[in-house]
Amino acid sequence: MANNKILFILGAGPNVATATAKLFAAQGYQVALVSRGTSTSFDPSYFYIQGDLSNPEKIPEWFAQVKKKYGRSPNVVIHNAYHVFPAHPQNPLSLNLGQLNYDLAVNFTSAYLAAQEAVKGFETLPADVPKSFIYTANGLNMMPMPRLVSLGLGKTALGHVIENATLSFQGKGYTFYYGDERLANGDFASGAISGMAHAERYWELSQDPKQRPWMDTFVAGQGYKEFPKV
């Protein structure tokens, strides 16, 4: 039944997460969110957890709260958080240890642990329920920018994890995606990022039990489009 399906978004903001939660809820999903802010900006029907993804040790606890609330583990998990301390444009080695550790905690460690908990939950769910982990990413794994080195480190590292997960869990009905919205010319979407395009793409990917290309570069209004590495 649709109302037994659960979407869990870690890193819930006003654009991608809001649009995605709304679309999944309209399809009958229960929705759980983690965000650093307050719950007043979210639909009151959602289960809201106030939390900071720079503290990834909290992630198992948050998954346990979702399971306790809804009686089962989430079948679609989206990591949508990021943080970046900009490095000096002429020196990507200018970050101090505290800055580097903070960015890696948000951009990589929290996502790794979320994927880990997602898979633990997938193992408990009925075979006919779609099971998907999606990481909201960008093109930094293909188009390096020295100023954003700590963000690119996290994105690239988690992309490596996702690629390996598609190999290890092949045949189990679990899907894993690196969601990367681009402009039609292949450039970063940046300020043009479309929450609705993400929502529609994430719905399509998560509901297909067959693994598609793990690095899902897509263009709003067009869908998947493969781009060469720069």
The one-character DSSP state at 94 is: -
Determine how β-strand 30-35 pairs with β-strand 215-219: unpaired
Helix (H, G, I), strand (E, B) or coil at 180: strand
| 76 token code pair | 């679609």
89 near 146, Cβ under 8 Å?
A: yes
| Cα gap 206→208, rounded to integer Å | 6
Pairing of strands 30-35, 47-50: parallel
120 is catalytic: no
Catalytic residue among 5, 22, 155, 229: 155
* Catalytic positions, written as ranges: 155
